[in-house]
Amino acid sequence: MSASGFPAAEVRALPNASFEDVSDEDWAHCLGGLHVLLWDSGGLVGHAAVVPRTLWCEVRELQVG
């Protein structure tokens, strides 16, 4: 666990345990936003994040995430 109390290494390891070849670039797209962690007695079992993004549709700007 990091000095801030956020288990960064455990969270980063989770997608590698679930999917093949999650690059650092892929992981960078998950940073920011609101994070939810799911723990059981064996440790971290789930992570979800909602990251705000701007989606442009022609001239309309939509805030999503």
pLDDT tens per residue, range 16-64? 888 888 898 988 887 888 888 899 998 888 888 888 889 999 999 999 9
Give how many domains the chain has, as a whole number: 1
Task: Assess if residue 3 is contained within a domain.
Answer: no
Whether 49 is covered by a domain: the verdict is: yes
Residue 59 lies in a domain: yes
43 belongs to a structural domain: yes
Give a yes or no: residue 57 inside a domain: yes
State the CB neighbour count (10 A cutoff) for residue 22.
16
Burial 35-59 (b: 16+ CB within 10 A, else e): eeeeeeeeeeeebeeeeeeeeeeee
Checking if the pLDDT of 1 tops 80, the result is no
The parent domain of residue 23 ranges over 8-64
2 within a domain of the structure (yes/no): no
